[in-house]
Amino acid sequence: MDGDMAALPPGPRIPKLLATYQLLAQPMRYYPRWRRRYGDPFTLSAINGTVVTTGRADLIETIFRADHRIYAPFGVEAVGPVVGASSIFTLQGSAHRRERKLMMPAFHGARMRAYATAMARAADDGFVAAGDGGRLQDAMQAISLDVILRAVFGLDDEENPQGYAEAIVGLIDSVHPALLFMPFLQRRLGGVGPYARFLERFEAVDELLDAQIERRRARPGEDILSMMLASRYEDDTQMSNEQLKDELRALVVAGHETSALALSWAVDAVLRHPMVERRLRAEIDALGEDPDPEALAKLPYLDAVCKETMRRHPIVTESLRLLKEPMVLGDHELDAGLTVSPSILLAHYDPETFPEPERFDPDRFMEKSYGPFSYLPFGGGHRRCVGAAFAQFEMKIVLGRLLARYDVELRSPLPPRPVRRNITLAPHDGVPAQLTPRRGRVSKAVPPHAVANHQAAT
């Protein structure tokens, strides 16, 4: 090791099991505490490995700009059983780059406009189906699921969306955080226990995906599955059925709950800041009673509100990379086998970048732009979320349709605290709220598929 280089950065010297519990249970408490005590970067030894964590923009840039060949995806043994061996989450090196190149066109440019109507319809139907009161998170999960069924899978009302909704929600709910962070628990144990239950639900979703792939192969549509079926790799080959299923599961896992949670946090934040709500409603109302979804997506203050929500409430707290080769990170030389972690949470709460980081202030994003090493809600580098543009587009349309058509009253006097749900951070109470239709703006007819999706999500 170079004489000028230090050993591993300092960090908490506590049992691995305790460290794992603390980062799982209360990351927003312990990450800032560890940074204050040990500096940035710091080292954490957890059950799933030794992780060097940083929230510094210069070190995050070092990690994201490094040659992709020095990294392996983190936690493949944990997430592999959920999303599959050929998913974009688990592939690495040239195979990963090849897969991203094939999938990216489905989530950008003119393709996005094809999904706008489906997103708006899902939002309108989902809020009507939510009825009078309840947890806003449940409504958002039903809407997010409907968006996936329509825009990603290409399902229509005649293709049993209720069956898909129930199967997908069952699969997601069976993924206990312990199964992801402690892969040794992935054992059948004689057909009982959480892993056996997960496998049963995985196989049910697998059968449904096979059926939908064949339907879209025979009758293509304006959806992401149809586009993937039509796409070709550089050698003119196509995705196999197993590859398609793995990517569809990855899109469900990455997009269903994350979008719903971001929207839930956004509504809670807006309603707790009356000046923000008034300004946002005025911008949305200028588009009329039935705002065009693409026009909503272009509103600057709505965009700023969504960005500030994802800064203030990061759904995923870190972006992990497993080192296949040594790396120099600041004053430290890190060995292969260690994990480096750009901390989304720490970066978003850096007071030098975001003054008064605890304050919800959308004007931050009206007044300036932030670089990809300071603001990274979708990760970064060669493994940045492939559906980031899709998720932001959906968030603006759903939030815009809600505020255009409803008055919303929060039912909890205090802001929700974040709790771990799978690998995400969710509001502990699900954001209980009362939706009251604004006069003349909402039809009371509830489509059957919307009721079914809402029931599945709840």
- pLDDT grade, residue 296 (50/70/90)? very high
Residue 398 has pLDDT above 90, yes or no: yes
Pairing mode, strands 433-437 and 406-410 = antiparallel
Q: Which residues on neighbouring strands pair with residue 52, listed in sequence order?
A: 43, 340
Q: For domain 16-253+314-384+443-457, which CATH number applies: 1.20.1070.10, 2.60.40.2230, 1.10.150.530, 1.10.630.10? A: 1.10.630.10
- pLDDT grade, residue 47 (50/70/90)? confident
Task: For residue range 174-217, list pLDDT tens digits in order.
Answer: 876 666 666 666 666 666 677 788 888 889 999 999 999 999 99
Secondary structure (3-state) at 409: strand
Q: Sign of the CA dihedral 201, 204, 205, 206?
A: positive
C-alpha span between 216 and 300 (Å, rounded) = 37
Task: For residue range 236-290, list pLDDT tens digits in order.
Answer: 999 999 999 999 988 887 888 899 999 999 999 999 999 999 999 999 999 999 9
Give me the amino acid identity at 357. Answer: P
pLDDT higher at 450 or 146: 146
Give me the amino acid identity at 60. Answer: I
Pairing mode, strands 424-427 and 418-421 = antiparallel
Residue 131 has pLDDT above 80, yes or no: no
Give residues with Cβ within 8 angstroms of 445, minimum separation 6.
Answer: 128
Residue 347 CB: number of other CB atoms within 10 A? 27
Secondary structure (3-state) at 243: helix
Distances (CA, A) of 295 to 8, 128, 270: 50, 22, 20
Residue 157, Cα to own-chain centre: how many angstroms? 26
Give residues with Cβ within 8 angstroms of 367, minimum separation 6.
Answer: none
Percent of the chain with pLDDT over 90: 67
